[in-house]
């Protein structure tokens, strides 16, 4: 893996991330394909939308289709016919989101399957080895994502466990099988987060995920924290904010020096009748769109906008047709791709703040939209 910061504007970075023969320019948004699919789309459709790096989830793929099937296909890329890069989440978020069916121990996490209730024990070593079986390009260390507002003693305990688990995972990692990023936890405690960075840098991880944010805390607190924390992370390695997908929040994080983002936000709201536009979310089932002959966005180059009207999308959702979430997902993912491309171009042209001001002037944000979703597909 090669990572190089190419341009800077204040703390904002344009970087090149190269793995194998694929080069990616950051900042980058990554669609989430939890169960080896970005919901409603084929791998080729996601590729044609411009994406070269997407996510899969270790916990879900371990349960289904399982290790035997993945091995028989020589990795998850062959299974899902994806020709780009893959990043796998370790399952750490499930430690938070599935709190009613798991138990945390020093050795790892005991899960109950959401499919059949069977018990499974994830250790940091096992999680790394299973991600190697998946054959992904970037894997994440097993961590504990503590809920917002947790007791300080518990926060410190879980943070220290995440440090220990990261080191244990790296110890068993085979050098030629992908790149292992460490997850930095610690809530909004700047001192604690810096301690984590200091400890993990001793192991020389090739990149870092910023975990445990955007999980219920007020965004203004997160924004202020990022301003103080991100610039103190290693400058020569990728910085990945795990689980952020609302455009305004992404710009806040980019201004702090974050490089990579993922979230189910654009795909989940697409399945729930909401379409992303430069003016904010368009709720397509409102009666005002019943006879609207316009595309979702006049200047959008996606398949949906080039071929169909708002009225048609309105009809499909009202009729509960399967095509509705497909067309909406195509548009929302293309919107996010174009948003990031425009953002990067504005940085290169030294017009970023003008770009942001113009975007925010038009984009009606009903609330912190990232709180609408969590990081599961």
CA 61 from chain centre, in angstroms, equals 17
Helix (H) or strand (E) holding 219: helix 219-229
CATH no. of 2-263: 3.20.20.105
CA distance 183 to 197: 9
Q: What ranges do the domains of the chain cover? A: 2-263, 269-369
Question: Does the active-site annotation cover 11?
Answer: no
The DSSP annotation for 165-203 comes to HHHHHHHH--TTS-EEEEEE--TT-HHHHHHHHHHHHTT
Confidence of residue 115 (pLDDT cuts 50, 70, 90): confident
Longest dimension (CA), the chain: 61
Asked whether the CA dihedral 142, 147, 148, 154 is positive or negative, the reply is negative
CA distance 49 to 310: 20
User: What's the rounded mean pLDDT across residues 96-121?
Assistant: 81
CA distance 216 to 186: 15
Which residue of the set 137, 252, 259, 262 is catalytic?
A: 262
Question: Does the active-site annotation cover 151?
Answer: no
pLDDT 10s digits, 273-287: 999 999 999 999 999
Query: Residue 96: how many CB atoms within 10 A of its CB?
Result: 19
At 127, phi and psi to the nearest 5? -60, -40
Which residue of the set 21, 48, 89, 259 is catalytic?
A: 89
Mean predicted lDDT score pLDDT of the chain: 94
CA distance 30 to 35: 15
Q: What share of the chain is helix, strand, coil (3-state, %, to 5)?
A: 45, 20, 35
Q: What pTM was computed for the model?
A: 0.95
CA distance 300 to 307: 11
pLDDT 10s digits, 26-84: 999 999 999 999 999 999 999 999 999 999 999 999 999 999 999 999 999 999 999 99
pLDDT 10s digits, 314-340: 999 999 999 999 999 999 999 999 999
CA distance 329 to 269: 8
User: What's the rounded mean pLDDT across residues 221-249?
Assistant: 97
């Amino acid at each position: 893996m090669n990572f190089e910061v190419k341009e800077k504007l204040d703390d904002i970075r344009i970087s090149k991330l190269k793995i194998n023969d694929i080069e990616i320019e950051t900042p980058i948004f990554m669609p989430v394909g939890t169960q080896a699919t970005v919901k409603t789309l084929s791998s080729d459709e996601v590729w044609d939308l411009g994406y070269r790096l997407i996510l899969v989830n270790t916990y879900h793929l371990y349960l289904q289709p399982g290790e035997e099937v993945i091995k028989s296909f020589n990795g998850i890329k062959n299974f899902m016919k994806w020709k780009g890069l893959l990043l796998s989440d370790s399952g750490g978020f499930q430690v938070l989101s599935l709190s009613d069916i798991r138990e945390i121990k020093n050795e790892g996490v005991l899960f109950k399957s959401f499919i059949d209730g069977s018990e499974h024990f994830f250790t940091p070593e096992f999680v790394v080895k299973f991600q190697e079986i998946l054959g992904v390009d970037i894997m994440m260390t097993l961590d504990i994502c503590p809920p917002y507002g947790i007791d300080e003693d518990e926060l410190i305990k879980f943070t220290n466990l995440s440090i220990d688990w990261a080191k244990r995972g790296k110890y068993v990692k085979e050098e030629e099988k992908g790149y292992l990023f460490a997850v930095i936890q610690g809530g909004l405690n700047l001192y604690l987060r810096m301690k984590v960075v200091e400890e993990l840098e001793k192991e020389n991880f090739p990149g870092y995920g910023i975990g445990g944010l955007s999980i219920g805390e007020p965004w203004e607190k997160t924004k202020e924290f990022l301003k103080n924390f991100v610039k103190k992370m290693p400058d020569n390695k990728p910085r990945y904010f795990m689980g952020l997908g609302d455009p305004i929040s992404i710009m806040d994080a980019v201004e702090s020096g974050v490089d990579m983002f993922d979230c189910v936000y654009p795909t989940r709201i697409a399945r729930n009748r909401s379409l992303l536009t430069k003016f904010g979310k368009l709720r397509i089932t409102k009666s005002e769109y019943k006879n609207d002959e316009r595309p979702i966005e006049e200047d959008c180059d996606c398949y949906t906008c080039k071929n169909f009207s708002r009225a048609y999308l309105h009809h499909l959702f009202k009729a509960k047709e399967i095509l509705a979430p497909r067309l909406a997902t195509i548009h929302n993912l293309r919107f996010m791709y174009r948003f990031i491309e425009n953002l990067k171009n504005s940085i290169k042209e030294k017009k970023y703040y003008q770009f942001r001001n113009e975007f925010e002037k038009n984009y009606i944000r009903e609330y912190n939209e990232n709180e609408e979703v969590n990081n599961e597909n």
